[in-house]
Structure 1
Amino acid sequence: MELRTRVVGPWPMNSYALVCPTTRQSVLIDPGAEPDELVTMLDGTIPVAIVLTHTHPDHIGALEEMRNRLGVPVFAHPGPHVAGVTLRVDRTLAHGDVVTVGDSAIRAWHTPGHTADMVCYLVEGAPIAIVGDTLFDGGPGRTWSADDFCITLTTLRTIVLTWSDDVVCCPGHGSSFRLGERRAAIERFLAHAPKGFFGDATWDM
C-alpha cells in the first residue's frame, strides 16, 4: 500500500492515508486538524473510511468535519474512550479485525496503555504499522497511572515485540522507525522498568 503523511495541528501530530495501489481506494487515519491539508493528502484517491488509533483530542480534532466532507464511515475501538468522549462509530474494531481497502487490507491490533482504546494498524503483506501513540522512536506513549504503565509493558512484551524487525512503525508524533533498530532498547527497558512509575518514559531511562 502507498503511505502518505501530513503533520497537522498546534501539537504537531501525524495524520496518515493508506492507499490501495490498484483501486486507489484509501483510508484516512487520525484526522487531527487542518481539514484542507487532509483533503489534499487524499488527492487522487477514493476514501472509503476514517480509522482512529485512539481518541485523544489532537488525533480527532477534525473528525466530524472530515466525516462530513468525505461522507465515509468511522472505524475505531469500542472504548472506553478518552475522558468519556462520546464517539459516533460506524464500525467497532476488535483485536484482529481486518479493514479492506480495495485489493489491500489492514489489521487492527489492540495496544492499550497510553489509552484504553489504542489500536495499531498493520498493513497486510507489507512491513508498515501505524502505531498511534503506542510507542515512539524514543520511548513508549505517556501514561497517567502506574496501572496504565503496567499495561503498556504488557503491550510491548506480548504484542509489539512479536512483530517482525522489518516493520516500520509510523507513530502519532515524530519520525518513523524500523522496529528492529529499537528492539534491543525496548527489551532493556522492559527488563529494568521501574515499579510504580507513570508519565513520560524513554527507552534508556
Structure 2
Amino acid sequence: MIPIDHVVTSGTFSLDGGTWDVDNNVWIVGDEREVLVIDAAHDAEAIAAAVADRRVVAVVCTHAHDDHINQATALADRFGAPILLHPAEAPLWEMVYPDRRPDTDLADGDVLRAGGIDLRVLQTPGHSPGSSCLYAPELGVVFTGDTLFNGGPGATGRSYSSFDTIIDSIREKLLTLPGDTEVRTGHGDPTSIGSEAPHLEEWITRGY
C-alpha cells in the first residue's frame, strides 16, 4: 500500500480583512491500519472517505491559518484523535476556535509515528510564528505546509509573518535535507529540495 494519500480540498482563506479562494493539499500518511492526517482543510467528508476505516493517530496542523485547520476539530471528534499544533500558533488558532485548544503541542524534534512511518517535526517559523514541517526520512519526503512551495517560500506579507524568519527557517531546516527529498506542499504542485535550493539568494534579493 502507498504510504501517502493525497486529497485536494477547496474553500477560502481569510486574514487581515481579506478572503481568497484556495485549493489545499491534505496529506494522509500511514498504512492500512493507522494514519496521521496533515492539515485538515475545508471538506471533512472527503478527508474521512480517504481515511476510511483506519485509525487516525492524530490530526497534525502545520500552522493555524484558517484554511489549514477549519476541519481539524470535526475530524478529531469523528475519529477520536488529538489535534497537534505548535503553541506559538495560538493567536491564529483562537481566531477560528476561541473556545477550544489543540490537544498536544508540537515541538521541534518531536517524532510522530503512524503505520511504522516516522515524521520528525521541524519548526520553521516565518509564514506564521509556529509553522512546522514534517520530515519522513524513510520516504524521502518533507511536508512543508506553507513554508516552502514549488517556486519559493510561503507568503510573509500578513499578520504574524516575517520574511527574514522564513528565509532562516528554509536555509537552516529544509535546505539541509538531502537534495532528492520530495517537498509535499500545502498548496499546489510538489517540488524537491534540490530544485529549490539554488534559488535561495534570488529569493532574498527580490524579497520573495
Please give the TM-score of this superposition, normalised by the length of structure 1.
0.86
- Number of equivalent positions: 192
| Deviation at residue 83 of structure 1 after TM alignment | 3.6
Residue of 76, 81, 86 corresponding to 2:90: 81
Q: Which amino acid aligns with 1:66?
A: L
Counterpart CA distance in 2 for 1:106 and 1:94 is 12
Matched, 1:12 2:23: yes
Corresponding residue for residue 148 of structure 2? 135
Counterpart CA distance in 2 for 1:80 and 1:3 is 26
* Structure 1 residue ranges without an equivalent (≥5): 195-200
Query: What SS is found at the alignment partner of 2:152?
Result: coil
| Deviation at residue 39 of structure 1 after TM alignment | 0.6
Corresponding residue for residue 41 of structure 2? 32
Contact 1:81–1:116 at 8 Å: present in 2 too?
Answer: no
Contact 2:127–2:161 at 8 Å: present in 1 too?
Answer: no
Spell out structure 1 runs of 4+ moving beyond 3 A: none
Matched, 1:167 2:167: no
| Deviation at residue 103 of structure 1 after TM alignment | 2.0
Contact 1:9–1:58 at 8 Å: present in 2 too?
Answer: no
Q: How does 1:1-205 map to 2 (within 5 A)?
A: 2-10=3-11, 11-20=22-31, 24-83=33-92, 85=94, 86=98, 88-144=101-157, 148-190=162-204, 192-194=205-207, 201=208
Of Structure 1 and Structure 2, the greater strand share is in 2
Query: What SS is found at the alignment partner of 1:79?
Result: helix
Counterpart CA distance in 1 for 2:76 and 2:63 is 16
Contact 1:7–1:14 at 8 Å: present in 2 too?
Answer: yes
Q: What RMSD, in angstroms, separates the aligned Cα atoms of the two structures?
A: 2.0
Contact 2:142–2:183 at 8 Å: present in 1 too?
Answer: yes
Q: 1:44 to 1:83 in 2, by over 3 A?
A: closer
Q: Which amino acid aligns with 2:148?
A: L
Counterpart CA distance in 1 for 2:89 and 2:26 is 22
Counterpart CA distance in 1 for 2:93 and 2:53 is 36
Query: What SS is found at the alignment partner of 1:166?
Result: coil
| Deviation at residue 134 of structure 1 after TM alignment | 0.1
Counterpart CA distance in 2 for 1:179 and 1:121 is 14
Counterpart CA distance in 1 for 2:114 and 2:73 is 21
Query: What SS is found at the alignment partner of 1:89?
Result: coil
| Deviation at residue 104 of structure 1 after TM alignment | 2.0
